[in-house]
């Protein structure tokens, strides 16, 4: 088939980029040089050429040829290394003469059902330079109370049975004491702790979702922030999950889930039990700009039985602390776990032998690591 196709560069390669769609148009002229010979062989008069050159001829000769040489997809580059796939969405034909047709081809991003967006719907992700636009970096959060079994609690009141008066209770109110003590164990009780979770969804070009990035994400799950992260102190945020689902021809939503547990410091006798300040404490940089001082974001607990953690950190040889975290002295990551060892202690005044904490241990989960969360490429 003697068909020639020429791209009309003055009209071709126009494109449009919006927050929801990317499209690009190409314009070609197809010349059917062989048609005149076919018409002469069939003895078609000039007056009848227009009758032969109708849309039926176009469909049977020109369109199959055109479709056979047009690529199914087209790489649209947003920058030097970032691109999205556009797919052939439509072909529009316009007859110029008895042997020439003008063809308009549109490439765009199909929706989830493979249908053309037509420049309107679907989310292709941000255009170049919009990586942090509000529409394509999405944020959600949830704050709730979760319940964990704890063996210690602050004792508010203690009484002896009337028949045992005037003996004193074995445990002293106003201090951290074992909960549910029996002859064999400390039963403990479910206690509420606040849990703050948030999710960040960012649309990323398929070209950035490399195997290297996926391995990085898998390594960062259960990691704890080494630096400030979205206004939260080092050591308080853990990545608890990640997921992504999409197509190769459009930007893919990558969702990262995080959970915050406030850092803490344990004070000794005379300390004040308090939660982290509701209002951020600011410091000023060299230009007078306010910077949130996240190092002040920690809870304080009081344990009269033990020395404060800041004293232990400074003077005790059996304290490792979190040497990689830039935290104030005595402040532990919110993801650290506190455990106690109990011994029976004779209480002469109460004529009892209660179990009281004799040793305190602070652990970090084995699987956790401290990492710079900039590796998430947010």
pLDDT by residue (tens digit) across 43-77? 555 545 554 555 666 667 777 777 778 887 788 88
pLDDT of residue 142: 93
Rg of the chain over all Cα atoms, to the nearest angstrom: 36
| Residue 114 is assigned to a structural domain of this protein | no
Token pair of 50, please? 């227009």
| Residue 122 is assigned to a structural domain of this protein | no
Instruction: Summarize pLDDT for 117-165 with one digit per residue, the tens.
Output: 543 333 445 444 444 433 467 889 999 888 888 888 878 888 888 887 8
| Residue 131 is assigned to a structural domain of this protein | no
Note whether 260 and 350 are same-domain residues.
Answer: yes
| Residue 119 is assigned to a structural domain of this protein | no
Note whether 7 and 151 are same-domain residues.
Answer: no
Note whether 183 and 35 are same-domain residues.
Answer: no
Torsion angle of the four alpha carbons 179, 182, 184, 185, in this order, in degrees rounded to the nearest 10: -10
Note whether 274 and 372 are same-domain residues.
Answer: yes
Residue 330: left if φ>0, alpha if ψ -120 to 50, beta else—which one? Answer: left
Angle 352-358-360 (CA atoms, 0-180°, nearest 5)?
145
Note whether 99 and 208 are same-domain residues.
Answer: no
Note whether 222 and 286 are same-domain residues.
Answer: yes
Q: By the 8 A CB rule, do 329 and 265 touch?
A: no
Note whether 89 and 164 are same-domain residues.
Answer: no
CB atoms within 10 A of CB 65: 14
DSSP state of 276: P
Last residue of a domain, one of 91, 108, 125: 108
| Residue 174 is assigned to a structural domain of this protein | yes
- CA dihedral over 204, 207, 208, 209, signed as positive or negative: positive
CB atoms within 10 A of CB 315: 9
| Residue 113 is assigned to a structural domain of this protein | no
Note whether 78 and 147 are same-domain residues.
Answer: no
Note whether 92 and 172 are same-domain residues.
Answer: no
Note whether 294 and 185 are same-domain residues.
Answer: yes
pLDDT of residue 105: 92
Token pair of 89, please? 């969405």
Instruction: Summarize pLDDT for 255-281 with one digit per residue, the tens.
Output: 999 999 999 888 876 555 556 555 555
- Report how far Cα 242 is from the mean position of its chain's Cα atoms: 6
pLDDT of residue 119: 39
Q: Where are the beta strands (DSSP E) in 245-376?
A: 252-260, 263-267, 282-284, 290-292, 298-302, 331-332, 337-344, 355-363, 369-371
| Residue 117 is assigned to a structural domain of this protein | no
| Residue 132 is assigned to a structural domain of this protein | no
Note whether 210 and 314 are same-domain residues.
Answer: yes
pLDDT of residue 120: 37
Note whether 337 and 194 are same-domain residues.
Answer: yes
Q: By the 8 A CB rule, do 125 and 85 touch?
A: no
Name residue, tokens 């304080």. 300
pLDDT of residue 337: 87
pTM comes to: 0.60
Q: Domain span at residue 369?
A: 137-376
Tens-level pLDDT at each residue, the chain (378 residues): 567 888 888 889 999 888 778 889 999 988 876 665 655 555 555 545 554 555 666 667 777 777 778 887 788 887 777 777 888 888 888 888 777 888 899 998 876 544 445 433 334 454 444 444 334 678 899 998 888 888 888 788 888 888 878 877 878 787 778 888 777 778 888 888 888 999 999 888 777 888 888 888 888 888 999 888 988 889 999 999 999 887 766 678 899 999 999 998 888 765 555 565 555 555 666 777 766 677 778 888 878 778 887 755 555 555 555 556 788 888 888 998 888 888 887 776 666 677 778 888 888 887 778 888 887 877
Count up the domains in the chain and report the number: 2
- Beta-carbon contacts of 317 under 8 Å, excluding residues fewer than 6 positions away, are none
């Amino acid at each position: 088939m003697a068909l020639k196709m020429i791209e009309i560069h003055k009209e071709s390669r126009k494109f449009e980029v919006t927050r929801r769609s990317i499209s690009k148009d190409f314009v070609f002229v197809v010349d059917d040089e062989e048609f005149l010979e076919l018409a002469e062989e069939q003895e078609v008069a000039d007056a009848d050429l227009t009758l032969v050159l109708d849309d039926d001829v176009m469909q049977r000769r020109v369109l199959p040829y055109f479709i056979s040489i047009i690529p199914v997809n087209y790489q649209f580059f947003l920058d030097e290394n970032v691109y999205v796939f556009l797919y052939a969405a439509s072909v529009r034909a316009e007859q110029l003469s008895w042997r020439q047709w003008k063809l308009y081809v549109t490439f765009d991003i199909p929706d989830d059902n493979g249908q053309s967006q037509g420049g309107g719907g679907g989310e292709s992700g941000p255009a170049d330079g919009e990586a942090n636009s509000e529409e394509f970096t999405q944020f959600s959060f949830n704050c709730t109370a979760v319940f964990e079994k704890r063996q210690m609690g602050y004792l508010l009141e203690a009484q002896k049975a009337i028949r045992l008066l005037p003996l004193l209770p074995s445990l002293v109110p106003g201090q951290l004491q074992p909960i549910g003590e029996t002859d064999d164990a400390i039963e403990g009780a479910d206690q509420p702790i606040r849990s703050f979770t948030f999710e960040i969804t960012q649309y990323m070009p398929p070209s950035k979702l490399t195997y290297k990035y996926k391995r990085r994400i898998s390594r960062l799950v259960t990691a704890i922030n080494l630096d400030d992260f979205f206004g939260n102190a080092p050591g308080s945020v853990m990545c608890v999950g990640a997921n992504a689902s999409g197509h190769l021809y459009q930007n893919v939503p990558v969702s990262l889930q995080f959970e915050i547990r406030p850092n803490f410091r344990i004070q000794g006798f005379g300390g004040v039990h308090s939660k982290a300040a509701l209002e951020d404490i600011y410091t000023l940089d060299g230009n007078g700009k306010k910077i949130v001082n996240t190092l002040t974001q920690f809870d304080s607990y009081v344990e009269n039985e033990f020395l404060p953690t800041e004293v232990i950190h400074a003077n005790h040889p059996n304290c490792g602390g979190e040497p990689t975290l830039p935290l104030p002295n005595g402040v532990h990551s919110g993801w650290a776990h506190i455990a106690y060892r109990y011994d029976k202690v004779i209480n002469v005044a109460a004529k009892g032998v209660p179990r009281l904490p004799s040793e305190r241990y602070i652990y970090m989960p084995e699987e956790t690591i401290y990492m710079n969360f900039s590796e998430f490429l947010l």
